Structure 1
Amino acid sequence: MGTAVHPASTTPAIWDAFSDVDAFVDEVLTELAAMAADGSRPTHSGPKLALTGAALRKAIMAIWCVCFCGMQWRAIGQLSGVPFGTLYTLFARWTRLGLWRRLLDRLRRTCRLACGDTAEPSAVVIDGRTCLSASSYFARGVDGGKKIRGIKIHLSVEKYGVPLAIDATPANVHDTKGIVPVLRQLAGRGFQGPAIGDLGYRGARLANAGEALGITIQPIARGRDGAFIPTEIAWVVERSFSWTSRYRRLNTIVERTEEHLVAFV
């Protein structure tokens, strides 16, 4: 008797990161050209010729692979054929010049305008996520509640989940203290309005700090009896953290500087 063979049913993934790589590379190249035009990207001056054309596209894709796949710089250098020192130098230089921040701000404005909203939000959602970190990270601590030794990423997002301000602290820093630099970033960009968070953001000290910056802290309950409750728009920050968790470089933190961690986020 023959054996019945049932082919496995395959369904397309709801999200495929590799399908967006070319679009990401195109946007980086567009922003680099804009930075060169407005003078925020100094012209290359050195003994080696700057990467251009296909080599530059390959370098940008390799930097993306470091974040998504969690690869080491030396490993991606071997696979891509671009020296790992060149890749790391490009990433560090573009981070210092603010390329990733410019890309993020343009993405947020384009997304909001396409959805029929104003370019800038009138309310934000704040939260923090504790991540394991390697001993090479510049500072880390122990989150007593989650029993994790590492760092904590503090994030503020608008209603579509696109980040507005990002900061990182050791995991033992309380949310009410770690979120203050994020509030300062928001105020520095002209945001004035409510910042919605969970009940961990209660307290007169944080409320006074927010009031001094023109930001109203609104702590609300997002759970009951251990179950998560999607209250108002407060749930969108949890989705944003789930987006970042898809990128292996952002699950176990190995960056040596806070600036590079924020750049990868």
Structure 2
Amino acid sequence: MTDAQWEQLEGLLPPPGNTGGKGGRPEKWCRRMVLDAIFYVVRGGIAWRQLPAEFPPYSTVYAVYRRWVRAGSWQRIHHALRDRTRVRAGRAPQPTAAIIDSPSVQGADTVPARSRGYDAGKKTNGRKRHIAVDTNGLLLAVVVTVASIQDRDAAIRLLAALRAGFATITMVWADAGYAGRLVRWAKTVARLTVTIVKRCDDIAGFTVLPRRWVVERTYSWIVKHRRLVRDYETRPDHHEAMIYIAMIYTMSRRLARSKPTAAA
């Protein structure tokens, strides 16, 4: 992590536990080193116990990661960086449209049977990542489920989270797997217009589809972090946190190397 990245992140970290009026000892390890270690695990795809000796003890790093998962800190850090990134790009902090998708990811042996399933279409045994992104590809919401669930069923949870977080969103684009009752539910309950972007049967081979390529590009950003190429997390909420951490690292790098631009 560069000095410029740390400058973006330092003020967003939750306060130390001993400053909240509940007692406790001051933190022993530098927060920058701890955050670097967490980024190292997510980016490199290693196990917590395999952290190099120059980092704090793996038990300390994992305890901080887990504590921030329980407190919802990763989401808050991510959302603050996303707003900054949108403003830096000349956009309003709150989006008005989103794109959703849900690829399946193979689960490792550390994923328990109770929280994994088999996606017959993709021939994948593991979990599904249901994500919503804005038109720039920045993450808005994520829900992790068993891979056996239908896209349109899990999308109800995703759109509910999207509506709860963003009152400004009115339009959502999705692929044909979301067609049918979800479109009606979104219109009547969530007050969202879901537009299905279909693939043209007359075109053979790969083709870039309008709007849908944005969310697919976001997945390419996510899987650059090797911890997310497969699912190694025992708990679904830990997997969601890993996705947020990957995007935190991506956006902090972007903000660190870019200069503010005036809004159009």
User: TM range, normalised to the smaller chain?
Assistant: 0.7 to 0.9
The whole-number CA distance in structure 2 between the counterparts of 1:107 and 1:36 is 17
Note the residue ranges of structure 1 that are not aligned, 5 or more in a row.
1-19
Contact 2:82 2:138 in 1 (8 A): yes
Cross-structure match for 2:222: 244
Contact 1:169 1:178 in 2 (8 A): yes
Q: How high is the TM-score relative to the length of structure 2?
A: 0.82
Report the residue type matching 1:61 in the other structure.
D
Q: Secondary structure at the match of 2:27?
A: coil
Q: Find 1:259's aligned residue among 237, 240, 243.
A: 237
The whole-number CA distance in structure 1 between the counterparts of 2:54 and 2:156 is 40
Distance 1:151 1:61, change over 3 A: same
Contact 1:25 1:60 in 2 (8 A): no
Shift of 1:49: 3.4
Distance 1:222 1:112, change over 3 A: farther
The whole-number CA distance in structure 1 between the counterparts of 2:8 and 2:90 is 22
Cross-structure match for 2:69: 95
Report the residue type matching 1:56 in the other structure.
R
Q: Secondary structure at the match of 1:252?
A: coil
Q: Secondary structure at the match of 2:149?
A: coil
Shift of 1:75: 1.1
Q: Deviations over 1:59-102 (max 9, x none)?
A: 110000110101111111x5334121111110011122222212
Higher Cα Rg: structure 1 or 2? 1
The whole-number CA distance in structure 2 between the counterparts of 1:27 and 1:120 is 20
Tell me whether 103-112 or 235-244 shows the greater mean CA deviation: 103-112
Seq. identity, %? 29
Q: Secondary structure at the match of 2:12?
A: helix
The whole-number CA distance in structure 1 between the counterparts of 2:200 and 2:33 is 45
Q: Secondary structure at the match of 1:107?
A: helix
The whole-number CA distance in structure 1 between the counterparts of 2:238 and 2:40 is 15
Q: Secondary structure at the match of 2:103?
A: strand
Note the residue ranges of structure 2 that are not aligned, 5 or more in a row.
244-264
How many aligned positions are there?
Answer: 237
Distance 1:133 1:126, change over 3 A: same
Report the residue type matching 1:155 in the other structure.
I
The whole-number CA distance in structure 2 between the counterparts of 1:43 and 1:88 is 24
Cross-structure match for 1:214: 191
The whole-number CA distance in structure 1 between the counterparts of 2:126 and 2:240 is 15
The whole-number CA distance in structure 1 between the counterparts of 2:59 and 2:3 is 23
Q: Deviations over 1:7-44 (max 9, x none)?
A: xxxxxxxxxxxxx5554444332112xx439x9x8467
Q: Find 2:117's aligned residue among 132, 141, 147.
A: 141
The whole-number CA distance in structure 2 between the counterparts of 1:239 and 1:108 is 16
Cross-structure match for 1:120: 94
Answer yes or no: is 1:66 the counterpart of 2:41.
yes
Report the residue type matching 1:255 in the other structure.
E
The whole-number CA distance in structure 2 between the counterparts of 1:30 and 1:248 is 27
Cross-structure match for 2:252: none
Tell me whether 67-76 or 229-238 shows the greater mean CA deviation: 229-238
Report the residue type matching 1:159 in the other structure.
T
Q: Which has the higher contact order (CA 8 A, sep 6+)?
A: 2
Shift of 1:252: 1.1
Report the residue type matching 2:35 in the other structure.
I
Shift of 1:226: 5.0
Q: Deviations over 1:179-235 (max 9, x none)?
A: 22111111111333111011111012x123212011121111145445343333221
The whole-number CA distance in structure 2 between the counterparts of 1:43 and 1:97 is 17
The whole-number CA distance in structure 1 between the counterparts of 2:75 and 2:173 is 23
Report the residue type matching 2:8 in the other structure.
E
Q: Deviations over 1:116-150 (max 9, x none)?
A: 22111111000011111123224111111111111
The whole-number CA distance in structure 2 between the counterparts of 1:252 and 1:259 is 15
